[in-house]
Amino acid sequence: MRYLVTGGAGFIGSNLVRHILATRADAQVVNLDALTYAGNLESLADVEEEPRYRFVRDDICDADRVADVMVGVDVVLHLAAESHVDRSILSDAPFVRTNVLGTHTLLAAALQAGVKRFVQVSTDEVYGELPWRDPDEGGAGADDAPRFTEDTPLAPRSPYSATKAAADHLALAYHTTHGLDVVVTRCSNNYGPYQFPEKLIPLLITHALEDRTLPVYGDGLYVRDWIHVEDHCRAILAAADGGRAGRVYNFGGDAEHTNLFVVRTLLRIMDRPEARIEHVEDRPGHDRRYAMDFGRAEAELGWRPTVGFEEGLRATVAWYLAHETWWRRVMSGEYWAYHREQYGG
């Protein structure tokens, strides 16, 4: 089986490439990545000599190059995306180009090449926001609070989520119109090893390790459902293996927490004082709560999360402690100078 993983040098993509190679002895993996700022081949240094693995540096918007790479591919796992909400607020054009036009280029090439399955990896943010509740208070009725289901109408509220919703619609339209075997997955917030330090959990960890303040948007009561990246990798492959064509599958970690709870838990794990918390100006259109109902995935794919939140958080802190050279290099001027010289980004 030959898999094409787009965005395979990013956080989730690099973990997925490694997971496929480790768990599927007959699998071949082609990693297609343009190596924009968050793409880092150092995250795959341990598999670069693996004969079943091949890296191709190219842009998913380049139709000719994508067509070449698509030859002989059985399954496309499409993760390549501009994904940072704050960046989409500052400049949304790259998000439209990569997330919409890039997805179209891949779909057209997959249809032409006769690919057996196309997995569009999306996000819970396409659904908008849920009524707020504090999951960390507990109490009666907490488990009955509404969560996103696959039938929740799409209501994206940021340029990032709007482009992902557009890509989802386009992928499903290729199934309905052209008969391309498409499955869409939507997942909650990921965390784990090799995550770029601009995202919340690695940002907090690295700030704590450097004895800096830990920034929290607004009141810190924004609620997210956290899933360890290894559980997400299993989910993507479960959808690729057993998902029904034209179907959407939600995945979540069953771990809703406020940002303040996450920060305080990290400080406790890392033995740092809560005085390090710094509330900063909120971002525009900040969704108050996301939470995923993964009942369909459990019933149809036999999938559910296995990594508890504190267990996963402790393992993530341990990883960043053990890989200080990796994250310090990513955050350094040396890394950016090297990236611009090598890749132009």
Among all residues, which ones are annotated catalytic?
Answer: 124-125, 160
DSSP strand pairing (223-228 vs 256-258): antiparallel
* The two structure tokens encoding residue 56: 């191709």
Closest Cα partner for 84 from 196, 202, 217?
196
Q: How far is CA 186 from CA 123, 135, 141, in A?
A: 4, 21, 25
Backbone torsions φ then ψ of 238, nearest 5 degrees: -65, -40
Residue 255 zone, left/alpha/beta (φ > 0; ψ -120 to 50; rest)? beta
- In sequence order, the β-bridge partners of residue 29 are 3, 53
Under a CB-based contact definition with an 8 Å cutoff, are residues 318 and 124 in contact? no
**What stretch of H or E contains 263?**
helix 259-269
Instruction: Please name the amino acid found at residue 329.
Output: R
Tell me which DSSP letter residue 254 carries: S
Under a CB-based contact definition with an 8 Å cutoff, are residues 260 and 220 in contact? yes
Distance, in Å, from the CA atom of 148 to the CA atom of 256, rounded to the nearest integer, reads: 13
* The two structure tokens encoding residue 270: 């890392």
Closest Cα partner for 225 from 250, 193, 198, 195?
250
Cβ partners under 8 Å of residue 198, min gap 6: 38, 84
